Amino acid sequence: MKASAIPELMLEPILDAGSGRDAVGLGSRAGKQLDVRHGTLLTLEDINVSFDGFKALRELTLYIGVGELRCVIGPNGAGKTTLMDVITGKTRPDSGTAWFGETFDLTHMSEVEIAQAGIGRKFQKPTVFEALSVFENLELALKTDKSVWASLRARLSGEQRDRIDEVLATIRLDGSRQRPAGLLSHGQKQFLEIGMLLVQDPQLLLLDEPVAGMTDAETEFTAELFKSLAGKHSLMVVEHDMGFVGSIADHVTVLHQGHVLAEGSLEQVQADERVIEVYLGR
Amino acid sequence: MNQPLALTAAQKAGPAVTTLVLGALLALLVALPLLHLLPPDSALHVSAYTLTLVGKILCYAIVALALDLVWGYAGLLSLGHGLFFALGGYAMGMYLMRQSAGDGLPAFMSFLAWTELPWYWYGTSSFLWCLALVVLVPGLLALVFGFFAFRSRIKGVYFSIMTQALTFAGMLLFFRNETGFGGNNGFTGFSRILGFSITAPGTRAVLFLATVALLAGSLYLGWRLAQSKFGRVLTAVRDAENRLMFCGYDPRGYKLFVWTLSAVLCGLAGALYVPQVGIINPSEMAPTQSIEAAVWVALGGRGTLVGPLLGAGIVNGMKSWFTVAFPEYWLFFLGALFIVVTLFLPKGVFGLLKKGQP
């Protein structure tokens, strides 16, 4: 008997404004193995991390939806970088669960496996391969088979070249494609690293202070870039620059002493008494 | 920044010039053994001493190239490459000892009043099995050592110290008579290889040509690796290993591959060294030997392929002159050379040559 035999008994998906295919669970924009049926890309629950008795994260719970652009703010030592370390497998939580989609248990994966599963990370200090040219930096980051054997015989296809050219244009480094990355300015290195994330095509981008050291124009451009990425990718941005946060975020999480203090729109958290007390400094 | 300097130099000077220079050098190296075959009273005759000396330096040049692959590209400074070289040499030496001994035991075993061969000597009368040992012994040792070292993320100076300790341990082991490799005398007194007299001009010529072929082959292999994406990943391992991991690469496999390849090349170089020089003993595993190899690479230019070959040639050429002229000052001179290069020529002699170009 066919499943659709009694149509009147089946639930029709409600496709009104504001509920995309993801929201009603009709499939995801994510990659093949990644399963985000319930619309949540990243699930962190009751995460505890301590270093020599110092509790860097306490019972931290955080969800990031598919296509969401989330800003994480908080005073120094609030655990923002530790949070990224937990997600990327650099630090193992003492307890708690961390899931990427429905299928990847991040607490049992290596850094490399997590990166291959589709989580990209930009470091606080821009880190690029200084001896290699801008183009080669992007070539290495490109989403492809990254085993030793594949690299020994790798040839860039026309499609891959186009993809790199496209990203070079996006990050405005067309003119510097053959320059060694070590000779780029600080801001250009930031953009190159963002570009390396883009060609990697991750589902979730973690960005640690992406606009530090950028000029106002560059910051504005970065804000536009991130807004255009949201929707296709999920982004988690750690940033101190409140102006930048205000210009991009639809959702803000405030961390304090390793704990989520408040969550909501920027206006909401700015109005929150506890946030004002610990962070906005009044 | 010192990524394939050889390539950039080649691009600047035009491939024609590079090919020409390399071709001329290769022709010279092929001519040497042929000139050795001329009768000794001929004006163009090359003496056995010269041929052996150049052959020895070529073997060292292969070691320099192998070390450059791991140090110059992947940033792993090995101070134990002499071990792999010596192991390849010992594997070849076992075959040569069996050839000299005929049906009996090698002389040093009779001297120790041993009545039968230790188990690991079985099959060593076969040339092919010894060739396999030349590749397998350094290769497997490097594979196992590398697997644990890279899995534990040992790098930098700790890695260098461990390789140094490894070659020192090897030396102590091979110094013992009970180990069954001739103790501190090692192997010598070879007479025949594959039935041919080892001192015959024809044999010397063939061994020399085999060394030239191995060097050319290694250079080509290194060049292909440096040009491939694999080579760029190695450079990335050297410069920003963390970034590479977050790009989704597992650096362990890359390091292990190049590390093992390098050890195998050293083993092959050692196997060609022994029949030409006529002796192998544990002093080849002495820590200073391995450090000297690092000096060749640094002097020639790390991360360039031709540089280390130049470095090995320059240092060993000087050494053979210096140790005759002022034998007691050689080590001081070598030390001073290393300091001067580190301070004033961070990219080595090859970097200097490149700078000299318009």
Q: What is the mean pLDDT of residues A210-233?
A: 88
Mean pLDDT, chain B, rounded, equals: 90
With CB atoms and an 8 Å threshold, state whether A200 touches B247. Answer: yes
pLDDT at A274 over 70: yes
Q: How confident is the model at residue A6, as a pLDDT?
A: 46
pLDDT at B72 over 70: yes
Q: Which domain holds residue A151?
A: 3-26+68-84+119-280
How distant is the Cα of B242 from the closest Cα of chain A, in angstroms? Answer: 9
H-helix or E-strand containing A140? helix A134-141
Higher pLDDT among residues B341 and B297, named by residue: B297
With CB atoms and an 8 Å threshold, state whether A127 touches B235. Answer: no
Orientation angle between helical segments B127-151 and B156-175, nearest 10 degrees:
140
| Residue B250 with chain A: CB contacts under 8 Å | 110, 112, 146
Let me know if residue A211 belongs to a domain.
yes
Per DSSP bridges, beta strands A104-105 and A119-122 are unpaired
Give the alpha-carbon dihedral of A268, A270, A275, A281, to 10 degrees.
-170
> B4 pLDDT band (50/70/90 cuts)?
very low
pLDDT tens column, A151-177: 998 888 999 999 999 999 989 898 899
> A18 pLDDT band (50/70/90 cuts)?
very low
How many Cα atoms occupy the beta-carbon half-sphere of B308 within 13 Å? Answer: 29
Task: Indicate the number of domains in chain A.
Answer: 1
pLDDT at A206 over 80: yes
pLDDT at B274 over 90: yes
Q: What percent of chain A is predicted at pLDDT more than 70? A: 86
Lowest mean pLDDT among A54-63, B68-77, B341-350: B341-350
A218 at interface of B, judged by CB pairs closer than 8 A: no
pLDDT at B1 over 80: no
Question: Domain ranges in chain B?
Answer: 45-286
Return d(Cα A62, Cα A259) in angstroms, integer.
Answer: 10
Q: What is the CATH number of the domain that holds A265?
A: 3.40.50.300
pLDDT tens column, A87-141: 999 999 999 999 998 888 999 899 999 999 999 999 888 899 999 999 999 999 9
With CB atoms and an 8 Å threshold, state whether B248 touches A115. Answer: yes
B115 at interface of A, judged by CB pairs closer than 8 A: no
Q: How confident is the model at residue B13, as a pLDDT?
A: 53
Query: Which residue from B230, B245, B253 is facing A115, i.e. has the nearest CB?
Result: B245
pLDDT at A31 over 60: no
Let me know if residue A195 belongs to a domain.
yes
Let me know if residue A101 belongs to a domain.
no
Return d(Cα A222, Cα A236) in angstroms, integer.
Answer: 14
Let me know if residue A110 belongs to a domain.
no
In degrees, rounded to 5, the angle at the alpha carbon of residue A174 between the alpha carbons of residues B240 and A115 is 35
Let me know if residue A260 belongs to a domain.
yes
pLDDT tens column, A142-152: 998 899 999 99
pLDDT at B2 over 50: no
- pTM, full prediction: 0.86
Q: How confident is the model at residue A275, as a pLDDT?
A: 82
Distance of CA B269 to the CA centre of its chain: 5
Q: What is the mean pLDDT of residues B89-105?
A: 92
SS3 call for A265: coil
Q: Is A241:A213 a contact under the CB 8 Å cutoff? A: no
Which range of B176-190, B202-216, B320-334 scores highest in mean pLDDT? It is B202-216
Q: How confident is the model at residue B355, as a pLDDT?
A: 67
B39 at interface of A, judged by CB pairs closer than 8 A: no
SS3 call for B192: strand
Let me know if residue A213 belongs to a domain.
yes
- Which among B261, B267, B251, B270 has a CA at the least distance from the CA of B225? B261
Residue B141: count other Cβ atoms within 10 Å of its Cβ: 18
Higher pLDDT among residues A280 and B177, named by residue: B177
pLDDT at A7 over 60: no
Phi then psi dihedrals of residue A65, to 5 deg? -85, 165
Q: Which residues pair with B196 in a beta bridge?
A: B193
B243 at interface of A, judged by CB pairs closer than 8 A: yes
Let me know if residue A196 belongs to a domain.
yes
With CB atoms and an 8 Å threshold, state whether B248 touches A152. Answer: no
Distance of CA B13 to the CA centre of its chain: 29
Q: How confident is the model at residue A13, as a pLDDT?
A: 44
With CB atoms and an 8 Å threshold, state whether B1 touches A182. Answer: yes
B73 at interface of A, judged by CB pairs closer than 8 A: no
Q: How confident is the model at residue A33, as a pLDDT?
A: 64
How distant is the Cα of B275 from the closest Cα of chain A, in angstroms? Answer: 34
pLDDT at A181 over 90: yes
Lowest mean pLDDT among A172-176, A194-198, B232-236, B342-346: B342-346
> A280 pLDDT band (50/70/90 cuts)?
low
Query: Which residue from A88, A129, A147 is facing B240, i.e. has the nearest CB?
Result: A129
Q: Is B321:B301 a contact under the CB 8 Å cutoff? A: no
Let me know if residue A32 belongs to a domain.
no
pLDDT tens column, B283-296: 999 999 999 999 99
Q: How confident is the model at residue B253, as a pLDDT?
A: 94
B240 at interface of A, judged by CB pairs closer than 8 A: yes
With CB atoms and an 8 Å threshold, state whether B248 touches A112. Answer: yes
| Residue A120 with chain B: CB contacts under 8 Å | 246
Mean pLDDT, chain A, rounded, equals: 83
Per the structure block, which two tokens stand in for A118? 């589709």
